[in-house]
Amino acid sequence: MPSTRIETRRGWLEGRQAELLEAVQRALVAGIRIPEHDRCIRLHELPAEAMMVPADRGPSYIVIEISMFRGRSIEAKRRLYAEMVRELAAFDIPARDVKVLIHESERHDWSVGGVALSDVELGFVVEV
């Protein structure tokens, strides 16, 4: 049940926003083995002047922040990073322009519908 935020510069996607969201979703499914129907991804396209990036990065530089439950193995995270780069290659984003940040917390730190997610059967395994 990750919550994913994508930030990039406005303009280069040229109407392919939905495709980008689906590519990131596929990487999450393949990388950390979440169910396909588990979706929470937000895309924020910023004006170029609102995003300071390293000088050697291109116009499609992208930052993907994933908040998720603690418990995924380093192997699962490595798989996620590789899948993210592989999926985003279809958008001509060089691997060096893909930055992925993971924020982990306990299930009791999340709530949906006023219920702590530590009190809910998720229907999938987190420890992958």
pLDDT 10s digits, 71-128: 999 999 999 999 999 999 999 999 999 999 999 999 999 999 999 988 988 888 888 9
Say what the pTM is: 0.94
Please check whether residue 128 lies inside any domain of the structure: no
- Cα(48)–Cα(23) distance, integer angstroms: 23
The domain in which residue 67 lies consists of: 3-119
Please check whether residue 85 lies inside any domain of the structure: yes
Please check whether residue 108 lies inside any domain of the structure: yes
Structural domains of the chain, count? 1
Q: Using an 8 Å Cβ cutoff, are 17 and 43 in contact?
A: yes
Please check whether residue 100 lies inside any domain of the structure: yes
64-80 pLDDT, tens digit per residue, is 999 999 999 999 999 99
CATH number, domain with residue 24: 3.30.429.10
Owner of token pair 């129907």 = 37
Please check whether residue 113 lies inside any domain of the structure: yes
The pair of structure tokens assigned to 90 is 């279809």
